[in-house]
Structure 1
Amino acid sequence: MAMSGMGGGKGRGRYRAMAEINVTPLVDVMLVLLIIFMVAAPLMTVGVPVDLPKTNASALNQETEPLTISVNAEGRIFIQESEVPTEGLVERLRAILAEQPAGAPERRIFVRGDKGINYGRVMEVMGTVSAAGFTKVALLAEQPSGTPAAGGTRPATPAPAQPQRR
C-alpha cells in the first residue's frame, strides 16, 4: 500500500512541463535596446560639421523634409552628407527636381554656411540652387542659447532665416 502514494494515480504526482513562456528576459532586453537607441538616435543625425551663425528668427513649420546644402569652412559643398563639386551641383539638383512627384509642393532647400566662410561663396551656392530651378531657398542660422525661441522650440536648434525668393 505504500506504493500507491508514490506517483501511481494518473500522473498527479509527476512533473509536467510548464506551458507558459517566461517573457521577463525578453522585456529586459527590449528595454535595454530601447534606451540604447534613444540615446544613439540624436547622434546619428549630425551630418557635416558646420559652425552656424546665430540669429533671433523663429523656426518655420514644415510638412516635408527639406533638402540641406552645406558649405563647410573649407568652402566644399555637400548635399545632405555627400560632397558635390560646384560644377556638378546644378545637374544633381535638377535630377532631384525631376524625381519629385507631379503635383507635389516644391521641395524647400536650406543652405547652411559656416560662419567663417566668405559670404560671396554662400551667395554663389544660392545662385546655383536658383539656376537649377528651385525657388524656395532659405539660409540656416543657429539661435543664440540665451534667447527663447518662438513657438516653444528649443533655443539651441538651428532655425532657418527668412527665405530668399527669386
Structure 2
Amino acid sequence: MAMGSLSDTEDDFNPEINTTPLVDVMLVLLIIFIITIPVMNHSVKLDLPRAASQPNEVKPESINLSIDGQGQIFWNEEIIDAEHMKNRIATAALKTPQPELHLRAERTTPYEKVAQVMSAAQSGGLSKIGFVTDPNAK
C-alpha cells in the first residue's frame, strides 16, 4: 500500500504546480501598478517663493482691580469709587481685543464688595474675569 495516495494506480499523481492562479494574481497586480504609478508621479514642479510669517496675536491688556479689607477699589493701583469703576469698565469693554480683568481681594474683604465688582464687570460688558490669589498668604 502506497503512503499518501488514495488510488491504486500511480498514473493519477501529477507533480507539476498549477501556476494559473499565480499568473492571474500577477497580471492583476501588474495592471494595478500600471494604473497607479502615473497618478503618483503626476506633479507640477514650481519654484515657489519662501516666506516666513508669524500670526500677529495682539495680547489683550490686563486690568488689575484690587479691593482692600475696607472695601476700597483700586484700578491699576489708583483709588477710584464705584461710579468711576463702572465708567472705566464700560470704556474697557469697547476695546478690541477686550482686556482681561484681574480681580484681587484681601482675605478680610467682605464678599459683598467682590460680588458688586463682578456684577459691574458683567453688566459693563467684560467677559474675561480672573481671580488673583496669593498661595503663600497666611
TM-score, normalization: structure 1? 0.43
Residue equivalent to 2:33: none
Larger relative contact order, structure 1 or 2 (CA cutoff 8 Å, min sep 6): 1
**Contact persistence 2:67–2:104 (CA under 8 A):** yes
Structure 1 pair 89–74 and aligned structure 2 pair: CA distance change class (3 A): same
SS at match of 1:123: helix
1:68 aligns with 2:64: yes
Larger radius of gyration: 2
Letter in 1 for 2:117: V
Let me know the Cα RMSD of the aligned residues.
1.8
Q: CA deviation at 1:138?
A: 1.4
Could you say which residue in structure 1 is the equivalent of 2:82? 86
Q: Match of 2:88, SS? A: helix
Count of aligned pairs between the two proteins = 79
Superposed, 1:17-166 pairs within 5 Å as 63-98=59-94, 100-101=95-96, 104=97, 106-144=98-136
What amino acid does structure 2 have at the position aligned with 1:86? A
**Offset of residue 127 of structure 1:** 0.9
Structure-2-length-normalised TM-score? 0.51
Q: Determine which structure has the larger helix proportion and give its number.
A: 2
Taking the aligned partners of 1:140 and 1:68, their CA distance within structure 2 comes to 9
User: Hey, what's the Cα distance between the residues in 1 that align with 2:110 and 2:100?
Assistant: 24
Partner of 1:142, secondary structure, is: coil
**Structure 1, unpaired ranges of 5+:** 1-62, 146-166
State the secondary structure of the residue aligned to 1:69. Answer: strand
SS in 1 for 2:71: coil
| Residue identity in the other structure for 1:119 | Y
Deviation readout 1:60-105 (Å, 9 max, x if unpaired) = xxx444111110121111110111111221111112233x24xx3x
- What is the CA–CA distance in structure 1 between the aligned matches of 2:78 and 2:127, rounded to whole Å? 22
Amino-acid identity (%): 19
CA distance, structure 1, for counterparts of residue 93 and residue 61 of structure 2: 14
